[in-house]
Amino acid sequence: MLGGRRAVWVSAVSTLAFFVVIVVLVANAPGADVVRRGFFAPEHLRGAFPDVAVKFFLVNAQMFLMAEVLVLIFGLLLAVLRSLPGPVMFPLRLVAIAYIDFFRGMPLLLWLFIVAFGFPGLGIRGISGLSQFSYGVIALTMVYSAYVAEVYRAGIESVHESQTSAARSLGLSSGKALRFVVLPQAIRRVIPPLLNDFIGLQKDTALVAAIGLVDAVRTAQGYSTTHFNFAGYVVAAILFVAITIPLARLTDVLLARQQRRTQAGGGR
Protein backbone atom coordinates (compact mmCIF):
# COMPACT_ATOMS: atom_id res chain seq x y z
CA MET A 1 0.00 0.00 0.00
CA LEU A 2 2.76 2.42 0.95
CA GLY A 3 4.70 1.53 -2.16
CA GLY A 4 1.64 2.22 -4.30
CA ARG A 5 1.04 5.61 -2.67
CA ARG A 6 4.68 6.52 -3.08
CA ALA A 7 4.52 5.61 -6.77
CA VAL A 8 1.46 7.81 -7.23
CA TRP A 9 3.16 10.76 -5.51
CA VAL A 10 6.34 10.30 -7.55
CA SER A 11 4.30 10.17 -10.76
CA ALA A 12 2.29 13.28 -9.84
CA VAL A 13 5.36 15.29 -8.84
CA SER A 14 7.31 14.29 -11.92
CA THR A 15 4.39 15.18 -14.18
CA LEU A 16 3.97 18.56 -12.49
CA ALA A 17 7.70 19.23 -12.78
CA PHE A 18 7.61 18.37 -16.48
CA PHE A 19 4.82 20.85 -17.18
CA VAL A 20 6.53 23.53 -15.10
CA VAL A 21 9.67 23.12 -17.19
CA ILE A 22 7.65 23.36 -20.41
CA VAL A 23 5.87 26.52 -19.21
CA VAL A 24 9.15 28.14 -18.18
CA LEU A 25 10.78 27.31 -21.51
CA VAL A 26 7.83 28.64 -23.50
CA ALA A 27 7.50 31.77 -21.35
CA ASN A 28 11.17 32.61 -21.85
CA ALA A 29 11.28 31.87 -25.57
CA PRO A 30 12.29 34.83 -27.79
CA GLY A 31 8.87 34.96 -29.45
CA ALA A 32 6.79 34.36 -26.32
CA ASP A 33 5.15 37.79 -26.43
CA VAL A 34 4.19 37.36 -30.09
CA VAL A 35 2.59 33.97 -29.40
CA ARG A 36 0.81 35.30 -26.32
CA ARG A 37 -0.72 38.19 -28.26
CA GLY A 38 -1.57 35.98 -31.23
CA PHE A 39 -3.14 33.06 -29.35
CA PHE A 40 -3.90 34.01 -25.76
CA ALA A 41 -4.92 37.68 -25.76
CA PRO A 42 -7.78 37.84 -23.21
CA GLU A 43 -9.88 40.25 -25.26
CA HIS A 44 -9.74 37.97 -28.30
CA LEU A 45 -10.43 34.85 -26.26
CA ARG A 46 -13.57 36.55 -24.92
CA GLY A 47 -14.47 37.81 -28.37
CA ALA A 48 -14.13 34.45 -30.10
CA PHE A 49 -15.76 32.31 -27.43
CA PRO A 50 -19.50 32.99 -28.06
CA ASP A 51 -19.51 32.19 -31.79
CA VAL A 52 -17.08 29.26 -31.56
CA ALA A 53 -18.92 27.72 -28.59
CA VAL A 54 -22.32 28.04 -30.27
CA LYS A 55 -21.06 26.36 -33.45
CA PHE A 56 -19.31 23.68 -31.42
CA PHE A 57 -22.47 22.59 -29.64
CA LEU A 58 -24.75 23.08 -32.66
CA VAL A 59 -22.53 21.25 -35.13
CA ASN A 60 -19.64 19.26 -33.65
CA ALA A 61 -21.41 17.98 -30.54
CA GLN A 62 -24.60 17.11 -32.43
CA MET A 63 -22.63 15.39 -35.16
CA PHE A 64 -20.70 13.38 -32.58
CA LEU A 65 -23.86 12.22 -30.81
CA MET A 66 -25.64 11.24 -34.02
CA ALA A 67 -22.62 9.43 -35.45
CA GLU A 68 -22.02 7.65 -32.14
CA VAL A 69 -25.49 6.08 -32.14
CA LEU A 70 -25.19 5.01 -35.79
CA VAL A 71 -21.68 3.63 -35.26
CA LEU A 72 -22.82 1.53 -32.31
CA ILE A 73 -25.60 -0.04 -34.37
CA PHE A 74 -23.77 -0.48 -37.69
CA GLY A 75 -20.54 -1.64 -36.03
CA LEU A 76 -22.43 -4.32 -34.09
CA LEU A 77 -24.12 -5.49 -37.29
CA LEU A 78 -20.74 -5.82 -39.03
CA ALA A 79 -19.28 -7.72 -36.08
CA VAL A 80 -22.21 -10.15 -36.00
CA LEU A 81 -21.97 -10.75 -39.76
CA ARG A 82 -18.26 -11.41 -39.48
CA SER A 83 -18.83 -13.85 -36.59
CA LEU A 84 -21.52 -15.94 -38.30
CA PRO A 85 -20.36 -19.58 -38.44
CA GLY A 86 -20.64 -22.11 -41.22
CA PRO A 87 -19.86 -22.19 -44.97
CA VAL A 88 -23.36 -20.93 -45.86
CA MET A 89 -22.58 -17.61 -44.19
CA PHE A 90 -19.24 -17.20 -45.97
CA PRO A 91 -20.51 -14.56 -48.47
CA LEU A 92 -21.79 -12.38 -45.62
CA ARG A 93 -18.55 -12.81 -43.69
CA LEU A 94 -16.60 -11.90 -46.82
CA VAL A 95 -18.61 -8.71 -47.34
CA ALA A 96 -18.14 -7.70 -43.69
CA ILE A 97 -14.39 -8.42 -43.81
CA ALA A 98 -13.96 -6.47 -47.06
CA TYR A 99 -15.86 -3.49 -45.63
CA ILE A 100 -13.90 -3.48 -42.39
CA ASP A 101 -10.52 -3.83 -44.11
CA PHE A 102 -11.33 -1.11 -46.65
CA PHE A 103 -12.51 1.54 -44.19
CA ARG A 104 -9.85 0.79 -41.59
CA GLY A 105 -7.31 1.60 -44.29
CA MET A 106 -9.15 4.66 -45.63
CA PRO A 107 -8.04 8.03 -44.20
CA LEU A 108 -11.10 9.76 -42.78
CA LEU A 109 -10.29 13.09 -44.43
CA LEU A 110 -10.15 11.52 -47.89
CA TRP A 111 -13.45 9.73 -47.34
CA LEU A 112 -15.02 12.99 -46.19
CA PHE A 113 -14.04 14.53 -49.52
CA ILE A 114 -15.36 11.55 -51.47
CA VAL A 115 -18.70 11.54 -49.67
CA ALA A 116 -19.25 15.30 -49.56
CA PHE A 117 -18.23 15.97 -53.16
CA GLY A 118 -18.95 12.61 -54.79
CA PHE A 119 -22.36 11.63 -53.44
CA PRO A 120 -24.08 14.83 -54.69
CA GLY A 121 -22.89 14.02 -58.20
CA LEU A 122 -24.55 10.61 -58.25
CA GLY A 123 -27.97 12.11 -58.81
CA ILE A 124 -29.67 9.52 -56.58
CA ARG A 125 -32.77 10.70 -54.79
CA GLY A 126 -32.34 10.59 -51.02
CA ILE A 127 -28.54 10.53 -51.27
CA SER A 128 -27.44 13.34 -53.55
CA GLY A 129 -29.47 16.15 -52.02
CA LEU A 130 -28.34 15.92 -48.41
CA SER A 131 -26.70 18.66 -46.36
CA GLN A 132 -22.99 18.88 -45.61
CA PHE A 133 -23.84 18.02 -42.01
CA SER A 134 -25.47 14.78 -43.14
CA TYR A 135 -22.52 13.90 -45.35
CA GLY A 136 -20.21 14.47 -42.40
CA VAL A 137 -22.26 12.11 -40.22
CA ILE A 138 -22.32 9.50 -43.00
CA ALA A 139 -18.55 9.62 -43.53
CA LEU A 140 -17.79 9.43 -39.81
CA THR A 141 -20.23 6.54 -39.37
CA MET A 142 -18.83 4.53 -42.28
CA VAL A 143 -15.21 4.84 -41.17
CA TYR A 144 -15.66 4.45 -37.43
CA SER A 145 -18.05 1.52 -37.81
CA ALA A 146 -15.13 -0.49 -39.18
CA TYR A 147 -13.06 0.17 -36.05
CA VAL A 148 -15.95 -0.43 -33.67
CA ALA A 149 -16.84 -3.68 -35.46
CA GLU A 150 -13.40 -5.05 -34.61
CA VAL A 151 -13.87 -4.03 -30.97
CA TYR A 152 -17.21 -5.83 -30.88
CA ARG A 153 -15.70 -8.88 -32.57
CA ALA A 154 -12.95 -9.06 -29.95
CA GLY A 155 -15.65 -9.01 -27.28
CA ILE A 156 -17.64 -11.75 -29.00
CA GLU A 157 -14.59 -13.96 -29.34
CA SER A 158 -13.71 -13.40 -25.68
CA VAL A 159 -16.91 -15.19 -24.61
CA HIS A 160 -16.00 -18.85 -24.13
CA GLU A 161 -17.62 -21.36 -26.47
CA SER A 162 -19.03 -23.20 -23.47
CA GLN A 163 -21.48 -20.31 -23.01
CA THR A 164 -22.92 -20.95 -26.46
CA SER A 165 -22.93 -24.71 -25.93
CA ALA A 166 -24.80 -24.30 -22.66
CA ALA A 167 -27.38 -22.04 -24.31
CA ARG A 168 -27.86 -24.53 -27.18
CA SER A 169 -28.28 -27.38 -24.71
CA LEU A 170 -31.17 -25.43 -23.16
CA GLY A 171 -32.93 -25.36 -26.50
CA LEU A 172 -31.91 -21.93 -27.78
CA SER A 173 -31.15 -21.52 -31.46
CA SER A 174 -27.78 -20.17 -32.62
CA GLY A 175 -29.31 -16.75 -33.18
CA LYS A 176 -30.95 -16.61 -29.77
CA ALA A 177 -27.78 -17.87 -28.07
CA LEU A 178 -25.87 -15.05 -29.75
CA ARG A 179 -28.52 -12.47 -28.87
CA PHE A 180 -29.30 -13.41 -25.29
CA VAL A 181 -26.06 -15.01 -24.06
CA VAL A 182 -23.02 -13.98 -26.08
CA LEU A 183 -23.74 -10.36 -27.04
CA PRO A 184 -24.70 -9.10 -23.55
CA GLN A 185 -21.41 -10.42 -22.15
CA ALA A 186 -19.38 -9.21 -25.14
CA ILE A 187 -20.80 -5.68 -25.10
CA ARG A 188 -20.25 -5.33 -21.37
CA ARG A 189 -16.59 -6.29 -21.81
CA VAL A 190 -15.85 -3.87 -24.66
CA ILE A 191 -17.41 -0.70 -23.23
CA PRO A 192 -14.01 0.80 -22.20
CA PRO A 193 -12.36 0.34 -25.64
CA LEU A 194 -15.54 1.61 -27.28
CA LEU A 195 -15.22 4.82 -25.28
CA ASN A 196 -11.66 5.18 -26.57
CA ASP A 197 -12.99 5.02 -30.14
CA PHE A 198 -15.64 7.61 -29.33
CA ILE A 199 -12.98 9.96 -27.98
CA GLY A 200 -11.36 9.77 -31.41
CA LEU A 201 -14.74 10.23 -33.09
CA GLN A 202 -15.47 13.33 -31.05
CA LYS A 203 -12.15 14.90 -32.05
CA ASP A 204 -12.48 13.95 -35.71
CA THR A 205 -15.70 15.94 -36.08
CA ALA A 206 -13.31 18.88 -36.46
CA LEU A 207 -12.37 17.52 -39.89
CA VAL A 208 -15.79 18.43 -41.31
CA ALA A 209 -14.50 21.99 -41.63
CA ALA A 210 -12.51 20.71 -44.62
CA ILE A 211 -15.71 20.09 -46.63
CA GLY A 212 -17.02 23.60 -46.01
CA LEU A 213 -19.34 22.96 -43.09
CA VAL A 214 -19.34 25.89 -40.69
CA ASP A 215 -18.43 24.28 -37.37
CA ALA A 216 -16.29 25.37 -34.42
CA VAL A 217 -13.05 25.08 -36.39
CA ARG A 218 -14.39 26.96 -39.42
CA THR A 219 -15.77 29.67 -37.12
CA ALA A 220 -12.39 29.93 -35.43
CA GLN A 221 -10.78 30.26 -38.84
CA GLY A 222 -13.20 33.04 -39.73
CA TYR A 223 -12.35 34.90 -36.52
CA SER A 224 -8.67 34.55 -37.32
CA THR A 225 -9.18 35.98 -40.81
CA THR A 226 -11.29 38.86 -39.58
CA HIS A 227 -9.26 39.89 -36.54
CA PHE A 228 -5.81 38.66 -37.54
CA ASN A 229 -5.65 36.68 -34.31
CA PHE A 230 -5.58 32.94 -33.58
CA ALA A 231 -7.44 32.99 -30.24
CA GLY A 232 -10.44 31.31 -31.90
CA TYR A 233 -8.38 28.17 -32.46
CA VAL A 234 -7.46 28.12 -28.77
CA VAL A 235 -11.12 28.41 -27.80
CA ALA A 236 -12.05 25.54 -30.14
CA ALA A 237 -9.22 23.41 -28.75
CA ILE A 238 -10.34 24.08 -25.17
CA LEU A 239 -13.90 23.02 -26.01
CA PHE A 240 -12.76 19.76 -27.60
CA VAL A 241 -10.49 19.00 -24.64
CA ALA A 242 -13.27 19.82 -22.19
CA ILE A 243 -15.39 17.07 -23.75
CA THR A 244 -12.55 14.59 -24.22
CA ILE A 245 -11.13 14.61 -20.68
CA PRO A 246 -14.36 13.45 -18.96
CA LEU A 247 -14.69 10.65 -21.53
CA ALA A 248 -11.08 9.61 -20.87
CA ARG A 249 -11.61 9.56 -17.11
CA LEU A 250 -14.82 7.58 -17.53
CA THR A 251 -12.88 5.06 -19.59
CA ASP A 252 -10.31 4.73 -16.79
CA VAL A 253 -13.06 4.17 -14.22
CA LEU A 254 -14.73 1.49 -16.32
CA LEU A 255 -11.42 -0.24 -17.00
CA ALA A 256 -10.62 -0.31 -13.28
CA ARG A 257 -14.08 -1.66 -12.48
CA GLN A 258 -13.70 -4.33 -15.14
CA GLN A 259 -10.32 -5.38 -13.75
CA ARG A 260 -11.77 -5.66 -10.24
CA ARG A 261 -14.60 -7.83 -11.51
CA THR A 262 -12.15 -10.05 -13.39
CA GLN A 263 -9.95 -10.47 -10.32
CA ALA A 264 -12.96 -11.15 -8.10
CA GLY A 265 -14.15 -13.78 -10.54
CA GLY A 266 -10.81 -15.56 -10.55
CA GLY A 267 -9.77 -14.24 -13.97
CA ARG A 268 -12.90 -15.46 -15.79
Nearest to 268 by CA among 155, 158, 156, 153: 158
Q: At residue 214, does pLDDT exceed 80?
A: yes
pLDDT of 165: 84
Q: What is the CA radius of gyration of the chain?
A: 23
Assigned CATH topology for domain 33-264: MetI-like fold (1.10.3720)
How far CA 259 is from CA of 26, 247, 262, in Å, comes to 40, 18, 5
The whole-chain average pLDDT of the chain stands at: 88
Query: Percentage of the chain surpassing pLDDT 70?
Result: 93
d(CA 54, CA 45): 14
How far CA 99 is from CA of 12, 94, 118, 187, 252, in Å, comes to 43, 9, 19, 21, 31
Nearest to 228 by CA among 31, 53, 41, 27: 41
Q: At residue 191, does pLDDT exceed 80?
A: yes
pLDDT band at 4; cut points 50, 70, 90: low
Q: At residue 268, does pLDDT exceed 90?
A: no
Q: At residue 266, does pLDDT exceed 80?
A: no
First to last CA, the chain: 26
Nearest to 181 by CA among 165, 160, 167: 167
- Cβ neighbours, 10 Å, residue 43: 10
d(CA 83, CA 175): 11
pLDDT of 46: 93
Q: What is the mean pLDDT of residues 45-69?
A: 94
Burial of 80 (0-12, 13-18, 19+ CB in 10 A): buried
Report pLDDT digits (tens) over 104-163: 999 999 999 999 999 998 888 888 889 999 999 999 999 999 999 999 999 999 888 888
pLDDT of 7: 63
Report pLDDT digits (tens) over 82-100: 988 888 889 999 999 999 9
pLDDT band at 45; cut points 50, 70, 90: very high
d(CA 153, CA 94): 15
Task: Return the domain boundaries, the chain.
Answer: 33-264
Say what the pTM is: 0.85
Q: At residue 166, does pLDDT exceed 90?
A: no
Q: What is the mean pLDDT of residues 68-74?
A: 96
The helix (run of H) or strand (run of E) holding residue 243 is helix 231-264
